[in-house]
């Protein structure tokens, strides 16, 4: 992903916009013999919090039995194992709403800096990251990440997983059968 080509609004203006969400989550249901559920965010997480949350969220949910998909610029998607219901997803979202500790945030910042330092060892990843930063005017990203406070990070997470920014998908037997 190389950002937006051509004339556009400055990227720092886009970053400051809060996530535009509806009041209620979007719900979709499909009838099938086995049960499985997904929940995903409609919008990606605002920067610079997304850089750290991409490290924090999967670690927090690693023992939840969920498959966690989270790309650096994309939405968060949680998937249950076959046979599990959306209750498992709701528990995971509740845990995320509690946020992270200062220690967890500090470790994520260290890990982010270490991964960034190792990027030149992976030329394609390094090229993508540099192009993204230049085209997206993210040259001060490291400074903004280091300045990101615990309340800012947890607030961005809560806004990101607010009910109006979620889309639920449930497959399984029809409700009441």
pTM higher than 0.85, yes or no? no
Report the distance separating Cα 76 and Cα 160, nearest Å: 9
SS3 at position 5:
coil
pLDDT for 3 equals: 43
For the cut 80, the answer to whether the pLDDT of residue 4 exceeds it is no
Report the distance separating Cα 157 and Cα 99, nearest Å: 7
Report pLDDT digits (tens) over 90-147: 999 999 999 999 999 999 999 988 988 887 777 776 677 676 666 665 667 788 889 9
């Amino acid at each position: 992903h190389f950002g937006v080509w051509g004339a556009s609004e400055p990227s720092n203006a886009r970053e400051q916009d809060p996530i535009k969400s509806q009041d209620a989550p979007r719900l979709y249901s499909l009838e099938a013999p086995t049960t499985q559920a997904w929940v995903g965010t409609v919008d990606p997480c605002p920067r610079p919090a997304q850089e750290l949350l991409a490290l924090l969220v999967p670690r927090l949910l690693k023992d939840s039995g969920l498959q966690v998909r989270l790309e650096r610029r994309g939405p968060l998607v949680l998937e249950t194992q076959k046979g599990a219901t959306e209750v498992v997803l709701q528990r995971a979202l509740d845990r995320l709403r509690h946020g992270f500790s200062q220690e967890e945030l500090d470790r994520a910042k260290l890990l982010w800096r270490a991964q960034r330092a190792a990027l030149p060892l992976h030329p394609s990843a390094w090229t993508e990251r540099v192009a993204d930063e230049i085209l997206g005017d993210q040259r001060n990203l490291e400074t903004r990440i280091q300045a990101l406070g615990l309340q800012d990070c947890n607030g961005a997470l809560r806004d990101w997983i607010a009910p109006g920014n979620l889309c639920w998908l449930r497959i399984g037997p029809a409700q009441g059968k």
